[in-house]
Amino acid sequence: MTGRPRPAIAALPAYRPGRSAAAAEADHGVVDAIKLASNELPFGPLPSVAGAIAAGIEHLHLYADHGASALRQALAAHVGVDLDQVAIGAGSAGILQQIVLAYVDTSEEVAMCWPSFEAYPVFAMLVEAEQIRVPLRDEVFDLPALAAAIGPQTKVAFVTNPNNPTGTVVGTDEIAAFLAAVPDTCLVVLDEAYNEFVDDPRVADSTPLLQQHANLVITRTFSKAHGLAGLRVGYAVGHRDAIAMIDRTLVPFAINELAQRAALASLAAVDEMRVRVAMVIEERARVRDALRTRGWTTPDPQGNFVWLPVGDVASDLGVALERHGVVARPFPDVGVRITISDRAGNDRFLAALDATGVSPR
């Protein structure tokens, strides 16, 4: 015996990250495979960020600032909110887990459209909550249907904008209408992990919505546009009371010294970050157009990835791409998500897709 875990934890499925290039090479006997499965940027840290990380190494014998005070102050100024409206966590996924731990009790409800971020169900199961899953409509969050599904027991509703894995968005006006339809007893979590990649004119800055809706929390991350996935820094902005509750579930010293220094430096170099984001957006448009020219159906991508809604051939297409040295992220019976890389990586994906022999759909 190894103790007696809670039944919910014993039954909890592990979060499944994107497969590595090394795993594909071992399974299929290929060499020089590339990983386009986890929505990572194709760039290393900005020079100033790398310098901040290097300078922090000499401090690693000390505990980091648990509250990440300097980073909170910088984020409050950057976003345009008060200091007590900002929480910091271990990536936005860490923040999302904190929110569920803080707000959802056993047998209460967590609502989402589906498919969406795969960690949402894991977090709901962690607290033995019921899940409400509303189907997407044309690969997009169906906010009216999600609002209609929310009841007295629904404590948290996730709105993922852009959605992962489909890359689609809903307009800010639609989010405002959704918030107006949701009871104050339900915390609405607007997950904006890919916010910086959005160029759809219907999507505006969401932070003004906080002034009218105390039950809104917006989560963002340094993992995607800032290229700091390996350091795990995310943040939330919301009403000070909600932020105070989220902070209570933060693991002591969860945001390490190097992560705090890197995030601060990246905020100070935000214009350089946006140049890199613009390069990704340009490549995203090129890949989207190349896919459509080949006859593939793909919704307008608004993250740093494209989505092929291929249904029951998703797993087969994922394996076929791996056999040609490209690791994508298949969602069985739903579709395949492919991260936007640099031009050479994207050309490898397109060539691999052509070589699979799978017909466009």
Query: What would the pLDDT profile of 157-203 be if each residue is shown by its tens digit?
Result: 999 999 999 999 999 999 999 999 999 999 999 999 999 999 999 99
2, pLDDT greater than 80: no
The answer to pTM > 0.85 is: yes
Interval 98-115 mean pLDDT = 97
* Chain centroid offset of residue 253 CA: 22
Q: Is the domain of 139 the same as that of 284?
A: no
pLDDT of residue 14: 78
Which helix H or strand E contains 282, and what residues bound it?
Answer: helix 270-293
Interval 205-223 mean pLDDT = 98
Q: Is the domain of 180 the same as that of 311?
A: no
Q: Is the domain of 40 the same as that of 54?
A: no
Q: Which two three-digit tokens encode residue 122?
A: 């894991």
Q: Is the domain of 214 the same as that of 243?
A: yes
Q: Is the domain of 189 the same as that of 59?
A: yes
113, pLDDT greater than 60: yes
Residue type, 152: P
Of 252, 269, 286, which residue is a domain's last? 269
Q: Which two three-digit tokens encode residue 72?
A: 């909170």
Per the structure, the count of domains in the chain is 2
Interval 224-236 mean pLDDT = 97
Per the CB < 8 A criterion, the answer to whether 219 and 238 are in contact is no
Q: Which two three-digit tokens encode residue 19?
A: 């497969």
Q: Is the domain of 115 the same as that of 27?
A: no
Among 187, 205, 209, 9, CA closest to 95: 187
Mean pLDDT of the chain: 96
Q: Which two three-digit tokens encode residue 251?
A: 């693991």
Q: What is the pLDDT of residues 19-43, one digit of tens each?
A: 999 999 999 999 999 999 999 999 9
Domain that holds residue 55: 47-269
Interval 343-352 mean pLDDT = 98
Q: Which two three-digit tokens encode residue 124?
A: 């709901």
The DSSP output letter for 40 is -
1, pLDDT greater than 60: no
